[in-house]
Amino acid sequence: MVAYLRTKSVCAVVGLVVLTAVGGWLASAADAAPVLNVFKSDDMDGGSFLTGRYSEGFSAAPDIGNGAHAGSWDGSNLYTDWELQGPLVATSTVVQDDRDAGGNGVMVLFRTFDLNTLGATLTLGAGGPWDGGDGPYTVDLDYYVQTVTGMFLNNAMVFASSIESFTGDVLGHAGYRLVGQANGAFVGQDVDPTPGGLPVDFPSWIPAGTPVGSWGEVGLVRFQITPEPATLLLLAMGMGGLLGLRRKR
């Protein structure tokens, strides 16, 4: 019985130490690290940051190698709230093709992205709702996928919408992770390197020097900044230790 109580006391002390350490780490990081919360663009209820615009630079091969670049737009300036750059299409798989013999109808693609070649990042601007006092923050993306639904007329795409999902670690702030999602809506494209080109006030095409591509609007953007699961586990261990101490008393 004495050994049992001693074990419970040790567990409680360990739990208290862990909880104190984690709590102190969170408190010391609070002024500098990003705020732990869910943040939504201002086209959603309760949204607090800007929607944006995107471009997709076309590679020589169909889809593969195309580069994504997006950023917030306030009507005059890009990137004041956020900027995403660097993902390159790695795979593009047709998951549904309902086009008829004349090339009219809908096609759905699922795409994965290469995040290493150009170093894919999401930058959260200083002064945004996520700023804990040390913004801007750079998120090193480690996952990025996209589902594209395109409408075709005579085998030419006339409209497309997309859903992007992505995750990454906040650089310089160990234990902080971002999970995000956004929707894109196609506006136009230029497939001839001679005339036209990318309209003013849209993100530049990536890779650099790409002469052709498409552009559009970005909305329904959602960023969630969370602690790593390991941090949550430490917090749970600390709470467990305190509960054990209360039962002993």
- Short-list 138, 141, 137, CA closest to 167: 141
Reduced to 3 states, what is the DSSP secondary structure of residue 247? helix
Residue 59 amino acid letter: S
Token output for 223: 């960023």
Residue 110: pLDDT band by 50, 70, 90 thresholds? very high
Q: Is the pLDDT of residue 111 over 80?
A: yes
Question: For residue 48, what pLDDT is reported?
Answer: 98
Residue 6 has pLDDT above 60, yes or no: no
- DSSP label at residue 127: T
pLDDT given at position 15 = 43
Angle, helix 229-248 to helix 2-30, in steps of 10 degrees: 140
pLDDT > 80? residue 228: no
User: What is the pLDDT of the chain when averaged over all its residues?
Assistant: 86
Output the CA–CA distances (angstroms, integers) from residue 134 to 30, 127, 170, in the order listed.
10, 9, 12
Tell whether the model's pLDDT for residue 229 goes beyond 80. no
pLDDT tens per residue across span 131-180:
999 999 999 999 999 999 999 999 988 999 999 999 999 999 999 999 99
Q: Give the pLDDT score at 241.
A: 53
CB of 136 closer than 8 Å to CB of 126: yes
Euclidean distance between CA atoms 106 and 147, whole angstroms: 13
For residue 157, the 8-state DSSP code is E
Residue range 201-217: mean pLDDT, rounded: 94
In this prediction, residue 248 carries a pLDDT of 56
Q: State the sign of the Cα–Cα–Cα–Cα dihedral 15, 19, 20, 21.
A: positive
Note whether 231 and 6 are within 8 A (CB): no
At residue 61, the pLDDT reads 80
pLDDT at 8 over 90: no
pLDDT, mean of residues 26-44: 81
Whose CA is closest to 70, among 118, 136, 130, 121?
Answer: 121
Quote the pLDDT of residue 208. Answer: 85
Higher pLDDT, 28 or 121: 121
pLDDT score of 106 more than 50: yes
Could you tell me the pLDDT band of residue 217, with boundaries at 50, 70 and 90? very high
Q: Could you tell me which of 113, 118, 138, 121 has the C-alpha nearest to residue 206?
A: 118
Q: What does residue 92 show for φ and ψ, rounded to 5 degrees? A: -140, 110
Distance CA 108, CA 8 (A): 57
